Amino acid sequence: METKILMEQAKKHILHTYNRFPVVLDHGKGVYLYDTEGKKYLDFAAGIAVQALGYGDPEYNEALKIQIDKLLHTSNLYYNQPMIDAAGKLCAASGLDNAFFTNSGAEAIEGAIKAAKKYAYEKDGSTDHEIIAMNHSFHGRTLGALAVTGNSHYREPFEPLPGIVRFAEYNDLDSVKALINEKTCAIILETIQGEGGIYPAQEEFLKGIRELCDEQDILLILDEIQCGMGRTGTMFAWQAYDVKPDIMTCAKALGCGVPVGAFVLTKKVADASLKPGDHGTTYGGNPFVGAAVSKVFDIFAQRNMTGHVKEIGVYLEGNLEQLQAEYGFITARRGRGLIQGLELSIPVGEVSTKALEQGLLVITAGTNVLRFVPPLIIEKNHIDEMVQKLKKVFDMF
């Protein structure tokens, strides 16, 4: 079927909440995607940091095929082994103790907020606790996740939002201190702000927040939905800071294409927060997604994915800095490992559109940042190819 016909059908039947690029993707192999007309695209978006293993990984696919023939779903009224295996591997990788599987990153944020509020409620029986979040953050589009998302553009049409949330400045510890009071139950932030423009947390900022939380029994929630799962060269970005959260959220590359998220807690928080009946999910952690998550952790370990990211990330950074030196409209490079951003003084949306025409998928962040979140399996030749395609685009400006 012709691409134009397919897109017209989409416009007719799919709710218009995305301004999609004019391409219908059909299949993928490795780090490349192909549309319905056979055009090839080098993928430096990875389904928004999801496809860590790229496309068509035989070992991953085989694990899912086996599970499909065995058991897809049972509900959480019963145990299933894939979920048990996945939870054990997630806890081992994070150093946290108890996991709850969700269907998405936004649901993981919702669960983390509920756990924090229940922890505070168990201490004093009060229901008026407050959360401190960060300006320019992004945690999801459900109502609870929106409430802690530091962008008024996203929040305003849906207010009033649940809970009392106060917003501090990212990487400004004094602004956090100024908001803490006896009602503060949690501080939530992304270890690296993704949608806000690829801003890593400064070490003294993150360690300072951890100290504040320890002093006043406030829970630290770190959102690793985009920057976690090996993308920075450690399994989770916070592990490079020698700081440990009380609750962590993850999703995206946790399932490498299968819709799954999770929030993970320390034993202290798990034992003193959510109890049977406080939270639930019909699909979360079913055998199919459990098999996917379990296999992802196996593959990461077997192939030393974090070691590869550390090496290839340096090469990507060097190439992006070289681009910055060559083009005056690139005003900054930010990021770690394989989550990188170039800040531009030219229209970033036009750049991503023209890149698509050159056979390169690259997305944006914030208002003026070109975002690079490729599959973690990329090699130096793929970065070289990306640079050549991007130069063709930049030379148009």
Angle between helices 305-326 and 287-302 (to 10 degrees): 80
Residues of the chain with CATH 3.90.1150.10: 3-57+304-394
Predicted confidence (pLDDT) per residue in 92-131, tens digit: 999 999 999 999 999 999 999 999 999 999 999 999 999 9
pTM greater than 0.75 (yes/no): yes
pLDDT for residue 269 is more than 80: yes
Query: Which among 66, 45, 99 has a CA at the least distance from the CA of 281?
Result: 99
Q: Where are the alpha helices (DSSP H) in 187-286?
A: 203-216, 267-271
CA distances from 234 to 84, 100, 305 (A): 23, 22, 9
Preceding omega of 160 cis (within 30 degrees of 0):
yes
Q: Read out DSSP for 265-282?
A: E-HHHHHTS--TTS---S
Residues of the chain with CATH 3.40.640.10: 71-302
- Judging by DSSP bridges, how do beta strands 199-200 and 219-223 pair with one another? unpaired
Predicted confidence (pLDDT) per residue in 204-225, tens digit: 999 999 999 999 999 999 999 9
Contact 258, 296 (CB under 8 A): no
Angle between helices 305-326 and 380-394 (to 10 degrees): 30
Q: Which pLDDT value is given to residue 1?
A: 63
Return the structure tokens found at 82: 């894939």
Q: Indicate the fold that domain 3-57+304-394 takes in CATH.
A: Aspartate Aminotransferase, domain 1 (3.90.1150)
pLDDT for residue 299 is more than 80: yes
CATH number for the region 71-302 comes to 3.40.640.10
- Residues 359, 343: Cα–Cα separation, whole Å: 21
- Judging by DSSP bridges, how do beta strands 192-193 and 199-200 pair with one another? antiparallel
Predicted confidence (pLDDT) per residue in 3-43, tens digit: 899 999 999 999 999 999 999 999 999 999 999 999 999 99
- Residues 296, 36: Cα–Cα separation, whole Å: 28
